[in-house]
């Protein structure tokens, strides 16, 4: 049985979701780029693309995502019909956290959906969407999880800040099993978003790195700002107090400032 069939079988055994099609070549430039092409051509939701390695893996904020063999590189197509589509990236973070938990690794989430172990990055999620006259037409969730890549073999700027499930003491499982766990948990979060979006935000908050009240810097496409981290609100926005005023942010990269730098 090939790996795509094994993944579909593992999901059927877990009770879904049912994947209409799975592509899993050894190498792609980017699983999300491939899936976006399929989405534009009308592929149904839960169409899934994986690769053993990526040559042009992309991260958030225009960064590259190092993708050597030994990681999970997964993209899933969704065509949401519920209102709170903006919560999907948070639901995906919760799904990865729950899948890591199945392997015995406890993680923390950093807004919007970085997955950390002891402050080191284990996984990242890239959410890309296209809208039409009727609203959001599709969302491609790209999920990268470092399963067994030795962080020391990653580019020097990542070596000190990355970790893997293996390095964190997680159970050693094949990539297909981790993929099944992530997709299964994502399916549960996706259903919950239609019925109980507040529950998804609560699940995210319960796993959030406890930075509330700390001074942070948030870099966005328009520049950066510094302020006190207040909360993640019910729509998944980050709320920061800047010079006495609440600012809501929908995207950006958060860094905690050390007391001396916080000023
Ligand atoms: C981040 O910057 O934290 C998000 C990283 C997302 C990486 C994944 S790997 C699978 C999918 N394909 C890509 O090119 N990127 C995403």
Q: What is the pLDDT of residues 70-104, one digit of tens each?
A: 999 999 999 999 999 999 999 999 999 999 999 99
Residue nearest to atom 3 of ligand 1 (CA): 124
**Residue 129 C-beta-side C-alpha neighbours within 13 Å:** 15
Of the candidates 46, 28, 223, 58, the residue with the CA atom closest to the CA atom of residue 138: 46
Where residue 221 falls among pLDDT bands split at 50, 70, 90? confident
Confidence check: pLDDT of 135 > 70: yes
Asked whether the predicted pLDDT for residue 261 surpasses 60, the reply is: no
Does the beta carbon of 125 sit less than 6 angstroms from any atom of ligand 1? yes
With 60 as the cut, is the pLDDT of residue 186 above it?
A: yes
108 contacts 3 by C-beta, under 8 angstroms = no
Q: Is 60 in the pocket of ligand 1 (CB under 6 A)?
A: yes
Whether 263 shows a pLDDT value over 80: the answer reads no
Question: Closest Cα partner for 167 from 239, 71, 233?
Answer: 71
63 lines ligand 1 (CB under 6 A): yes
Ligand 1 in contact with 69 (CB < 6 A)? no
Q: What is the Å distance from ligand 1's center to 127 Cα? A: 9
Ligand 1 site, residue 31, Cβ cutoff 6 A: yes
pTM of this structure: 0.94
Q: How far apart are CA 115 and CA 110, in angstroms?
A: 6
Residue 262 has pLDDT above 70, yes or no: no
Q: In the structure, what pLDDT confidence band is assigned to residue 2 with cuts at 50, 70 and 90?
A: confident
Ligand 1 atom nearest to CA at 33: 14
Q: Among the atoms of ligand 1, which is closest to the Cα of residue 58?
A: 14
* pLDDT value at residue 102: 97
């Amino acid at each position: 049985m090939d790996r795509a069939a094994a993944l579909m079988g593992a999901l059927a055994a877990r009770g879904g979701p049912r994947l209409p099609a799975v592509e899993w070549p050894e190498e792609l430039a980017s699983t999300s780029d491939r899936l976006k092409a399929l989405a534009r051509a009308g592929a149904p939701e839960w169409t899934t693309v994986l690769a053993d390695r990526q040559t042009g893996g992309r991260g958030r904020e225009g960064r590259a995502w190092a993708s050597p063999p030994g990681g999970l590189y997964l993209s899933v197509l969704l065509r949401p019909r519920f209102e709170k589509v903006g919560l999907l990236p948070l639901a995906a973070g919760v799904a990865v956290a729950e899948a890591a938990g199945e392997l015995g690794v406890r993680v923390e989430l950093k807004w919007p959906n970085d997955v950390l172990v002891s402050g080191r990055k284990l996984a990242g999620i890239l959410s890309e969407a296209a809208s039409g006259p009727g609203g959001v037409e599709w969302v491609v969730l790209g999920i990268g999880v470092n399963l067994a890549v030795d962080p020391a073999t990653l580019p020097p700027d990542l070596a000190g800040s990355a970790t893997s499930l293996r390095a964190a003491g997680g159970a050693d499982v094949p990539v297909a099993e981790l993929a099944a766990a992530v997709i299964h948990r994502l399916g549960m979060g996706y259903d919950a978003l239609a019925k109980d979006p507040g529950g998804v935000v609560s699940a995210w908050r319960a796993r959030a790195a406890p930075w509330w009240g700390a001074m942070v810097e948030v870099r966005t496409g328009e520049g950066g700002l510094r302020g006190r981290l207040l909360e993640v609100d019910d729509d998944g926005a980050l709320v920061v107090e800047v010079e006495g005023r609440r600012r809501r942010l929908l995207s950006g990269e958060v860094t905690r400032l050390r007391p001396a730098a916080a000023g």
